[in-house]
Amino acid sequence: MGELSPHSQDVAVDDPKWRAVLALAEELGLPVNLHVTEPEGGSYPGRVETPLVDFRAMAAEWSGVKFILAHWGGRVWRGGALPENVWVDTAATPLLYGSPIWDEGLAACGSGKILWGTDYPLELYPKEPGKGTFAGLLAEARARVPEGDVDGVLGGNAARVLCGKSASEAC
Ligand SMILES: [Zn+2]
């Protein structure tokens, strides 16, 4: 379920209402997609701080929940190895990061932890109108992800995350 953002709605991650959401996700085996802002990232309209420690704390406490951290998880790997029950997605990559994020993310997370995300209907290349949101990002992924890993990043990884009921269940 998601993209959700307790931070954007001024709900503390230890708020009982938010904990009830995570408990339901765990019970139903639903991955939770969360909005994440990179701490060092630039300013833009609507930016909300989302401390990375909050995501690490949630992942540790709710080990039965699969978390998909949007926007490359704000480079959450810089705070330590990615927890087993955490994945990142590529939503809004061109707006938030330079293309080197692909190499950094692949090296830090491994391709199996990276899920295709776009942030549709957001225009991802406002300064390159002809590039096209989907076509442009797709070309970027194909150029940056090793050939044998492209299918996983573009859908196979997500399919595996979505089909297992528990955080550790493979399918
Ligand atoms: Zn977002």
168 in a structural domain: no
- CA 119–ligand 1 middle distance (angstroms): 7
- CA 35–ligand 1 middle distance (angstroms): 4
- CA 43–ligand 1 middle distance (angstroms): 14
- CA 158–ligand 1 middle distance (angstroms): 17
Which of 66, 86, 82 lies closest to 166 in space, CA to CA?
66
170 in a structural domain: no
Contact 169, 154 (CB under 8 A): no
What is the residue range of 84's domain? 2-163
- Angle subtended by helix axes 133-144 and 100-109, to nearest 10: 60
- CA 106–ligand 1 middle distance (angstroms): 20
153 in a structural domain: yes
The 10s digit of each residue's pLDDT in 24-57 is: 999 999 999 999 999 888 888 888 999 999 999 9
pLDDT over 90 (residue 148): yes
Confidence of residue 95 (pLDDT cuts 50, 70, 90): very high
53: tokens are 């420690």
Can you list the pairs that 159-162 forms with residues at least 24 positions away whose Cβ atoms lie under 8 Å?
A: 161/31, 161/66, 161/68, 161/87, 161/115, 162/31
169 in a structural domain: no
171 in a structural domain: no
- CA 2–ligand 1 middle distance (angstroms): 9
Query: Which of 2-11, 39-48, 125-134, 161-170 is the most confident on average?
Result: 2-11
Arithmetic mean of pLDDT, 132-142: 93
User: Residue 95, exposed/middle/buried by CB under 10 A (0-12, 13-18, 19+)?
Assistant: middle
Residue 167 has a pLDDT of 65
How many independent structural domains does the chain possess? 1
45 in a structural domain: yes
Residue 40 has a pLDDT of 86
The 10s digit of each residue's pLDDT in 99-134 is: 999 999 999 999 999 999 999 999 999 999 888 888
Which of 5, 128, 23, 70 lies closest to 136 in space, CA to CA?
128
Residue 166 has a pLDDT of 66
Q: CA distances (Å), 29 to each of 63, 134, 139, in order?
A: 12, 29, 33
- CA 92–ligand 1 middle distance (angstroms): 8
Contact 170, 162 (CB under 8 A): no
Give the residue, 93 or 39, on which the prediction is more confident: 93
Residue 125 has a pLDDT of 93
Residue 37: which CATH number?
Answer: 3.20.20.140
Give the residue, 98 or 81, on which the prediction is more confident: 81
